[in-house]
Structure 1
Amino acid sequence: MAILPILEIPDPILREISVPVAPDDADLPRLIADMFDTMYDAPGIGLAAIQIGVAKRLMVIDLQEEEGEDEKPVRRPRVFINPVLSEPSEELSAYNEGCLSIPEYYAEVTRPASVRAQWTDETGAAHDERLDGMLATCVQHEMDHLEGVLFTDHLSKLKRDMAMKKVLKSQRLRR
């Protein structure tokens, strides 16, 4: 498969609203494999298709949580096709979020602690689950991408401006 370039702010494509994935999308298996390769290489725990310039309602997530005494990350890749979120909890949770499209910048974002998620996976199976913890946070973060929203949009203007300056400086240094 392929490791694809990840779009970074201020790329305007990141602000596009993604369209539903067609049931007969023949490119989907390769796109999913490329997204996982790209996400793992970055490294990250979630990636929305729009972050690689594909405006489809598709995201991949693998929290790569450590288990056991050897504390090696265990891969549990999950594919979310045409996800829909509803029933956010009243309870909130704050996480120090980062984003592959906003490299080297992290900030605390408060989101609902749990949400109901409905989606189809890569096999065509339908899912309807209540998600909580880090998975709920990650799904909400990636869902924002599908709506053209970045995690920095949840921050104050001052913190958004700081993020932009830091990323632009980093981009200049990489050139």
Structure 2
Amino acid sequence: MAVLPIVITGEPVLHTPAAPVTTIDDDLRSLVDDMFETMEAAPGVGLAAPQVGVGLRVFVYGWIDDDDVEHRGVAINPELWLSPLSTAPLHEMAESEGCLSVPGERYPLRRAHRVILRATDLEGEPYEVAAEGWLARIFQHEYDHLDGVLYVDRLDHTNAKTAAKAVKRAGWGTPGLSWMPGVDDLEG
């Protein structure tokens, strides 16, 4: 297993829909192992293959909830069903998220509170997870990566302008930029 570099916004693979996984083989298993190691080194709660420069429809997740229940898995060729979005005012703190491909930045974003994830695991077995709250947010965030969408692409106008300024100030938004979890301190 190895920690992989995480590509930063502007890298074309992040802004292009990923291709379906057609074969579950040792190469894919190795990629998934490396993605888990990279996610944990970052540290993060999810990581999609495009974030490590691989344009495939696969993501990993790992999060321990408030009841100390671990939610950990791999989603290959996932499908995602969302509950309707709340019309309540956006809660700046509770609905804030970040992204390893836009490191160090956090912005509020309205997401569906409940989702159903259907995917295939590394044994080629289909599974389904009904999730709510933070786990639902993780699934939506990682699923967006597979469609070439970053969370900053979904921000309201004010936060999108702030995010665009942060990206420009950091010198991101062009191909070829990445950071190495455990080596570079871009999350701080």
TM-score range, shorter chain: 0.7 to 0.9
- Distance between the aligned counterparts of 1:66 and 1:13, measured in 2? 34
1:11 corresponds to:
11
Residue type matched to 1:114 in 2? Answer: R
Residue type of the alignment partner of 2:143? M
- Which residue of structure 2 lines up, in the alignment, with residue 80 of structure 1? 75
Paired position in structure 2 for 1:139: 139
Q: How far is the alpha carbon of 1:129 from its aligned partner? A: 2.9
Query: Aligned to 1:27, what secondary structure does the other structure show?
Result: helix
Q: Distance in 2 between matches of 1:66 and 1:124?
A: 30
- Would you say how many aligned residue pairs link Structure 1 and Structure 2? 167
How big is the shift at 1:164?
3.0
Aligned equivalent of 2:84: 90
TM-score by length of 2: 0.80
Name the amino acid aligned to 1:90. P
1:80·1:119 contact (CA, 8 Å) conserved in 2? yes
Is residue 109–residue 154 contact of structure 1 (8 Å, CA) maintained in 2?
Answer: yes
1:49–1:57 CA contact under 8 A, matched in 2: yes
- Equivalent position SS for 2:139: helix
Which residue of structure 2 lines up, in the alignment, with residue 116 of structure 1? 116
Match of 2:104 in 1: 104
Which residues of 2 match residues 1-175 of structure 1 at below 5 A? 1-65=1-65, 67=67, 76-86=71-81, 88-92=82-86, 95-170=95-170
Unaligned ranges ≥5, structure 2: 173-184
- RMSD value, Cα: 2.2
Gaps in structure 1 of 5+ consecutive residues: 69-73
Q: Distance in 2 between matches of 1:75 and 1:38?
A: 18
The verdict on how the C-alpha distance between 1:52 and 1:120 changes in structure 2, with shifts beyond 3 A counting, is same
Counterpart of 2:27 in structure 1: which amino acid?
D
TM-score, L = length of structure 1: 0.85
Q: Which has the higher contact order (CA 8 A, sep 6+)?
A: 2
Q: How far is the alpha carbon of 1:75 from its aligned partner?
A: 5.2
Q: Secondary structure at the match of 1:29?
A: helix
Amino acid at match of 2:133: G
Deviation of 1:38 after TM superposition, in Å, equals: 0.7
Distance in 2 (alpha carbons) for counterparts of 1:142 and 1:148: 10
